[in-house]
Chain A
Amino acid sequence: GDSVTQMEGPVTLSEEAFLTINCTYTATGYPSLFWYVQYPGEGLQLLLKATKADDKGSNKGFEATYRKETTSFHLEKGSVQVSDSAVYFCALRGNAGNMLTFGGGTRLMVKP
């Protein structure tokens, strides 16, 4: 079945540092890929998405590129802020067009 693997956290960075959170997936066909973010005490919200190979999703300074050859969708940001502290989830929606499969989540802590 489909699966998503994320790097385990927590990831602790200083403000303005470069961020990479790795995500790899296993799925048949051509899934859609997502990053969701969960701020403390809140539900998940969509951060960005990509629906086909080589697409780049971007939002709020975050980017991720759909790499089919490496089955990856790594999240990057050039300069993190304290307000980016949250849990980040990579997810995929399979070719059947149904449910989301989530990775285990990566907690990011940004220190001033």
Chain B
Amino acid sequence: NAGVTQTPKFQVLKTGQSMTLQCAQDMNHNSMYWYRQDPGMGLRLIYYSASEGTTDKGEVPNGYNVSRLNKREFSLRLESAAPSQTSVYFCASTPLAVGTDTQYFGPGTRLTVL
């Protein structure tokens, strides 16, 4: 099992550009999450998906959209990137209902917006 995979690992964007961060898990998990990690602030939840076809906002959803394409994949889209979105982005998944079990994290995507 590869676990949770994320692409790309690194990305540099100019202000106003768009991009999609990809996440996939091969553990047959039901729930998936997107976080951003900023220095000294821990991880903050952007969006989550309790099951295929459903998505909900987390703590910091503004400027982002998500798609739960199927049970395996959960993508995060920045429609018009801003410097404030410079961060490290982590995808995670859990086997059962949202919040009821250990979260498994991907290796992260380091995004810089100039």
Chain A: residues with CB nearer than 8 A to chain B? 4, 8, 41-46, 49, 89, 91, 93, 96-100, 102-105
Asked if B48 CB lies within 8 Å of chain A CBs, one says yes
Asked if A44 contacts B48 (CB within 8 A), the reply is no
Choose one: B42, B44, B100, B104; the contact of A105 (CB below 8 Å): B42
Name A8's closest neighbour in chain B (CB-CB).
Answer: B40
Asked if B41 contacts A99 (CB within 8 A), the reply is no
Asked if A104 contacts B40 (CB within 8 A), the reply is yes
Name B97's closest neighbour in chain A (CB-CB).
Answer: A97
Asked if B107 contacts A89 (CB within 8 A), the reply is no
Asked if B103 CB lies within 8 Å of chain A CBs, one says yes
A99 touching B105 in the complex, CB below 8 Å, given contacts A44-B90, A104-B40, A105-B42? no
Assembly CA distance A41 to B92 (angstroms) = 16
Choose one: A42, A104, A105; the contact of B107 (CB below 8 Å): A42
Assembly CA distance A100 to B43 (angstroms) = 9
